[in-house]
Structure 1
Amino acid sequence: MRIPALATALTLVLASPAVAQTIAPILTTPDARDPHSYARPAEARVTHVALDLAADFDTHVIRGIATLDILAKPGAKLVLDDNGLKIVTITDANGNGKPLAYEVGAVDKIHGAPLTVTLNGADKIRIAYASSPDAKALQWLTPAQTAGKKQPFLFSQGEAILNRSWIPTQDSPGIRQTWEAKIAVPKQLTAVMSGLATAKPTCVADRCTFQYKMDKPVAPYLIALAVGDIAFKSTGPRTGIWAEPATLPKAAYEFGELEKFVAAAEGLYGPYRWGRYDVLVLPPSFPFGGMENPTLTFATPTAIAGDRSLVSLIAHELAHSWSGNLVTNATWDDFWLNEGFTSYFENRIMEALYGKRRADMEADLAWTDMMAAVKEAGGPAAKDTQLHLDLDAARDPDDGMTQIAYDKGASFLRTIEKQVGRARWDAYLRSYFDRHAFQPQTSAGFLADLKSKLLTPAEAKTIGVDTWVYSPGIPANAVHVTSAAFPAVDAAAKAYAAGGPLSGVPGKATTQEITRFLSQLPRTLPAERLKALDAAFGWNMTGNAEIRFAWLQLALANHYAPADASAEQFLTSQGRRKFVAPLFQQLMDSGDWGHTLAMDIYGKARAGYHAVTQVTVDRITGWKLMN
């Protein structure tokens, strides 16, 4: 499959003053070519999407109208991204309503198909369409799959290239678009989206229509929708929590300090530019820890520990309001520009709110995760351990969404901070977000900016900025933040493994200390030692998902039989890929016993997982080959 480059976009910029205001200069560079979109924005590009839709919970279909504003060269055709959409008509929306010719190209299993529209001069088109019942971005939940057990639920997950399965647009992160939407849903349900509400819902008969708008250009993967039995609790003048009524009290407590989080982030890197910052706690099948949809973070209920020990997840998603949403990777090859910056920023927010001790523990744990990710990728020479990736059209962009982008990216920024000092670094970052606000970015663009606005040639050479971005492995000068709390934890793990007493185990310590302790225990531990831990601390059924995950990794590695039921309960009650994928991989690597258990559990769990998680676990288990 060949997808045209964006290098000719400069011609369009020079030809049209209007276009010059909407196409970022970075998109004229070869490294901004997006192999995961069929769009040809140098010829015609979408600038605004207006949706008028209805959600049908009986057929699992969203249907209605998408009206697209277009900037195009004379005579150009518009190429959109399409994955399973059922197109009814495409017409000129400028008032004459004339039908426009269109063609759906060959289908690719990763990218879907190009939808090519002959514009005939139209700069606004109207597409009547419906999603398919198995649209990859949409998860339709039965009442039994929700916390309340009474009403169905729907949520979307667009990153990286899934929104093309329910919105006909140019689904590339560099092609930023404003949008507005009307969505009609069953009267007993509430619809929320990643924009600001523009009117109170209007109800007719058994349906209510909700209206939202995003007046700032965003990457199309950030258009998000959720529909369900959800309620709201304010946590401040511009923040609040959405959740199912059964979940709302716990969620509102857990994330009750949202205003403090926003203020801390603003104190670091400038004003929050999106109006509101709300959090929607989704049902457990949500595949990620969080999704940084503007104005409305989607969050997993697995972050609710009861003691606010896992709120770094919210710090992370909030930080995306600057890195990722404000300044966005132009293509998925530079995913680290979203996640590496955000992981660094997250840790700074945690330090500002909870102190250096906690921030250092989390940074130290992230270092361990990074080294594990390097090993999993094939070692320090593996190309996928680079920050700037080479995800050609044969690969799914999800392949690049590993801890390398998050933790190597954050380590790179810490290394720059160490070289130039925190004051200079913070001033630069704040300026960077201001100067590139609402624009896409590439690795080359960031490095050019860094060398121009912050680093001297000698500093850039000392850090090795190009090596950090374009070479595999972790450079020798990487800053490893070490926690002062962990040596005692490591010593306790060593002592317990050697037969020491339970009294030395940090069972009532922080989540970070407990997960560190569990990770440091040997993978070959006698059953009676595991049983003693289980009896003393109840980690086999703890409600803290991070501790439960670390415990199951240890217990399953030792074939600790009582953990089988715990693993089944954990893997069938939530679908967060961070937890699900490693545990299934561990079971599949554990011989006949683990393989049998994995396939039994997955047979029960798969239907409740989001497509993102299904794709990953299908690959791990070989499910589709066997069923």
Structure 2
Amino acid sequence: MAPVDPHSFTESTQPATTHIALTLYFDFPSSTIHASALFTLQTPHSGPFFLDTRSLTIHSALHADQAIPFSLSATSDPIKGTLLTLTLSNHSSFILTFSTSPSSSALQWLLPPQTCNKTHPYVYTQCQAIHARSIFPSHDTPARRIRYSAILNIPSELSAVMAANHVTRRPPRDDDAPALASLNLNWCSQDRVVEEFVMEQPVPPYLFAFAVGQLGNREVGPRTRVYAEEGSAVLDSAAKEFEGTEDMIREGEKLFGEYDWERFDLLVLPPSFPYGGMENPKMVFLTPTVIKGDGSGAQVVAHELAHSWTGNLITNKTNEHFWLNEGFTTYAERRIVEAVQGEKRATLNVGIGWRGLNEEVERFKDNLEFTKLKNNQQGIDPDDVYSQVPYEKGFQFLFRIERQVGRSAFDEFLKKYIAKFKFQSIDTDTFLDFLKENIPGIEKQIDLVLWTEGTGIPSDAYEPELIVYKTIVSLANEAATGRMPGEDEVADWQGQEWELYLDNLPKSIEASQIVALDSRHKLSESKDYEVKVSFLQRAILCGCKEYYGEVEKTLKEVGRMKYLRPLYTALVKGSEEDKVFAKRVFSEARECYHPIAQSVVVSIFSKHM
């Protein structure tokens, strides 16, 4: 037996699933999906066949109406979940019927009061890194790519979107779900509707995504619609914020080749969404916190767009090579931002990332394995070691190669790389072999092993040299002497400049300086959460209790882990009073967080309390 991924039960000796035809019935009152799935295998198989599951109830396994023996492992692995074993007899296809659990780690079910319009329920997915298995049995590893179709049976007052092509919206039919007949679902009720989707390109399971709610949309470009809750202010704001999306797509095509996904639609989710964005192909998911009113939120869109080439077209084979997704995408994002918004914006992003990388290396000082690009995650939950290292160290590695060979030569290499490995999942060694083959002698100019397998930050990494970057960092350092920036010095600052300034403030800064800074510049009231959270984190570390009301409000109104992690970490590292405060806030806010975010906060508490 040879597992292909430390986070999956998938065996290399067993055939891959090439297509899954899903039928999903959404039962909002019970926060459950009842489903069937027709699996098509690459080749017929006899003997044990393994699939990943988590918190699923398996009702039946069939081939041509004949039962297939199956079993679930008696115990559940805390990371991989529960092993589903089927006993096949030269089968190349089979049908499973199953139901999700209300505790599915990929799904957040929202009651009407938790939504923007307060009138209808909502459910959405987040499958990265290994949560697709809590929606349907699968080879839940990026090493195995699948095509799929889906029939979603939902209440008629709602609509659905998927990271797939929309086929039709129609009344339910009796022949939609014969495999689900034994569950006695009210499939053809007059108050139900069916939405059909198809994904024709092979994708890793973590890119499976849908959302169901009262959704509206606005056209913002020839390939892009923005979706959000109908009737909410978010929809119009998002359409304005992302009106330049087509320009970014065109720049991406110039840099990296043809856009292979037909559509690039955007769904702005409720505030509980745990990430800034998720690169689901054809339908990117976004947090509403990226809508800042000045267009700067489009930089998150640039990142998710860049994934259309690096991550979605070419995918890391396992999470131990996650930098192949995120390092490449961070590099690509900054190239797109530079082309559309200018070198200054791109360089400020590099500066913010540089500071973040240094902080993450400090975070992992007791376990430097996770400061490597290529690391060992055997027995490790990828959510527990999620960090900026694969993003920023990966970016630094690629930027080091660009500086060595020149931008034009590196651009040519990137296009070759994407064309060679599109719709494949690869590992670090595959990339390095291709790099050495196409840029002969590069291993003599750059220590490739140190960059990919070494810990920490290599000495030939790059801290930005742009004058505006150095000026902001210098102003932040001057805070150690008590000097705060004057009005004239910050007159043209946007969120990025303030974020960079706050991130570089010395640890020795006093509470009185934090209060004075806020009194002058109103940072605690910023509509830009990057700025607001960075300021509140500093306020907590300085013991500024007058801002704890704003901290509580922030922790209760957004579920993005980028904000939860620093605020809860700062609190639990503080006084006993701070820890009690953190526990109370979490107990009151918990149900408004996605299950992934809940588990991250719990892990912060367990580590520091």
Pick aligned residue for 2:377 from 371, 391, 399: 391
Q: Distance in 2 between matches of 1:429 and 1:50?
A: 35
Alpha-carbon separation, structure 1, partners of 2:480 and 2:487: 13
Contact 1:53 1:62 (8 Å CA) reproduced: yes
Aligned 8 A contact 2:61 2:70 in 1: yes
Match of 2:396 in 1: 411
Once the two structures are superposed, the pairs formed by residues 127-166 of structure 1 within 5 Å of their partners are 127-166=96-135
Q: Give the distance between the partners of 1:249 and 1:561, measured in 2 at CA.
A: 36
Q: 1:487 deviation in Å?
A: 2.6
Deviations 1:308-341 (A, max 9, x none): 1232111111111111110111111101110010
1:440 corresponding residue in structure 2: 425
1:596 aligned to 2:564?
Answer: no
- Is 1:315–1:349's contact at 8 Å kept on the other side of the alignment? yes
Which one of 539, 552, 555 corresponds to residue 555 of structure 1?
539
Secondary structure of residue in 1 paired with 2:90 = coil
Matches within 5 A, 1:215-226: 215-226=200-211
Partners in 1 of 2:355 and 2:146 — Cα distance?
Answer: 38
Secondary structure at the counterpart of residue 121 of structure 1? strand
The match for 1:529 is 513
The offset of 1:46, in angstroms, is 0.9
Structure 2 contact 348–500 (Cα < 8 Å) conserved? no
1:358 is aligned, of 345, 352, 361, to 345
Asked if 1:291 corresponds to 2:262, the answer is no
Is the CA contact 2:355–2:504 (under 8 Å) kept in the aligned structure 1?
no
SS of 1:172 mapped into structure 2: coil
Query: What is the distance in 1 between the residues matched to 2:457 and 2:606?
Result: 32
Residue 2 of structure 2 corresponds to residue 5 of structure 1: yes
Equivalent residue, structure 1, for 2:449: 466
Distance across 2 between alignment mates of 1:545 and 1:265: 27
The separation in 2 between residues aligned to 1:82 and 1:74, in whole angstroms, is: 20
1:462-501 map, 5 Å: 462-495=445-478, 498-500=481-483
Q: Is 2:169–2:193's contact at 8 Å kept on the other side of the alignment?
A: no
Supply the distance in 1 between the matched residues of 2:400 and 2:311 (Cα, whole angstroms). 21
Deviation at 1:61, TM superposition (A): 0.3
Partner-residue secondary structure (3-state), 1:488: helix
In the alignment, does 2:293 pair up with 1:324?
A: no
Contact residue 326 and residue 437 of structure 1 kept, 8 A: yes
How far apart, CA to CA, are the structure 2 residues paired with 1:504 and 1:526?
23
Q: Aligned equivalents of 1:600 and 1:241: distance in 2? A: 36
Is 1:578 aligned with 2:562? yes
Q: Verify the 8 A CA contact 1:335 1:401 in the aligned structure 2.
A: no
CA contact (8 A) 2:45 2:88 kept: no
Q: Please, which moves more after superposition, 276-285 or 394-403?
A: 394-403
Residue 68 (str. 1) matches residue 39 (str. 2)? yes
CA distance in 2, matches of 1:356, 1:369: 20
1:209 corresponding residue in structure 2: 194
8 Å Cα contact 2:68/2:87 also seen in 1: yes
- After TM superposition, the structure 1 stretch with the greater mean CA deviation from structure 2, 273-282 or 520-529, is 520-529
TM value normalised by structure 1: 0.91
Q: Provide the residue aligned with 2:8 in structure 1.
A: 37
Q: SS at 2:194's partner residue?
A: strand
Structure 2: distance between partners of 1:58 and 1:164: 22
Q: What secondary structure does 1:540 align onto?
A: helix
Question: TM-score by structure 2 length?
Answer: 0.93
Q: Is the 8 A contact 1:507 1:514 kept in 2?
A: no
Is this contact kept in 2: 1:568–1:601, CA < 8 A?
yes
Distance (Å, rounded) in 1 between the aligned partners of 2:139 and 2:511 = 55
Aligned-pair CA distance for 1:525 = 4.0
Question: Are the aligned partners of 1:45 and 1:78 in contact in 2 as well (CA < 8 Å)?
Answer: no
Q: Which amino acid aligns with 1:113?
A: T
The answer to whether the Cα contact below 8 Å between 1:507 and 1:537 also exists between their aligned partners in 2 is no
1:111 aligns with 80
Q: Provide the residue aligned with 2:182 in structure 1.
A: none
CA-to-aligned-CA distance 1:448-488 (integer Å, 9 cap, x gap): 111112x222x212111122111212111123333321232
Residue from 94, 98, 107 that aligns with 1:125? 94
Alpha-carbon deviation of 1:69? 0.3
8 Å Cα contact 1:5/1:34 also seen in 2: no
The residue number in structure 2 matching 1:430 is: 415
Who is 1:17 aligned against? Answer: none
Q: Contact 1:331 / 1:442 at 8 angstroms: preserved in 2?
A: yes
Q: Equivalents in 2 of 1:135, 1:123: separation in Å?
A: 29
CA distance in 1, matches of 2:48, 2:100: 23
Rate the CA distance shift 1:507–1:131 in 2: closer, same or farther, 3 A: farther
Q: What is the Cα deviation at residue 401 of structure 1?
A: 2.3
Distance in 1 (alpha carbons) for counterparts of 2:24 and 2:216: 22
Contact 1:335 1:400 in 2 (8 A): no
1:83 partnered with 2:54: yes
Match of 1:615 in 2: 599
The aligned amino acid for 1:5 is: A
Shift of 1:548: 0.4
Per-residue CA deviation, residues 420-475 of structure 1 (Å, 9 max, x unaligned), is 1111111111111111110110001111111112x222x21211112211121211
**Aligned with 2:554: secondary structure?**
helix
Counterpart residue type for residue 225 of structure 1: F
Residue type of the alignment partner of 1:481: P
The answer (yes or no) to whether the contact 1:231–1:244 under 8 Å persists in 2 is yes
Summarize the Cα distance change of 1:266–1:191 in structure 2 as closer, same or farther, 3 Å threshold: same
- Cα distance in 2 between the residues matched to 1:332 and 1:518: 31
* Aligned CA-pair RMSD: 1.8
Aligned counterparts of 1:303 and 1:65: Cα–Cα separation in 2: 36
Does the 8 A contact of 1:41 with 1:175 survive in 2?
no
Shift of 1:300: 0.7
1:507 Cα deviation after fit:
5.7
Q: Which residue of 1 aligns with 2:20?
A: 49
Structure 1 residue identity aligned to 2:153: A
Q: Which moved more, 1:562-571 or 1:599-608?
A: 599-608
Identity fraction in percent = 35
Shift in Å, 1:560: 1.4
Cα 1:550–1:74 shift into 2, 3 Å: closer
Q: Which runs of 5+ in 2 are unaligned?
A: 173-188
Residue identity matched to 1:587: L
* 2:70 counterpart residue number: 102
Q: Is the contact between residue 327 and residue 436 of structure 1 (CA under 8 Å) also seen in structure 2?
A: yes
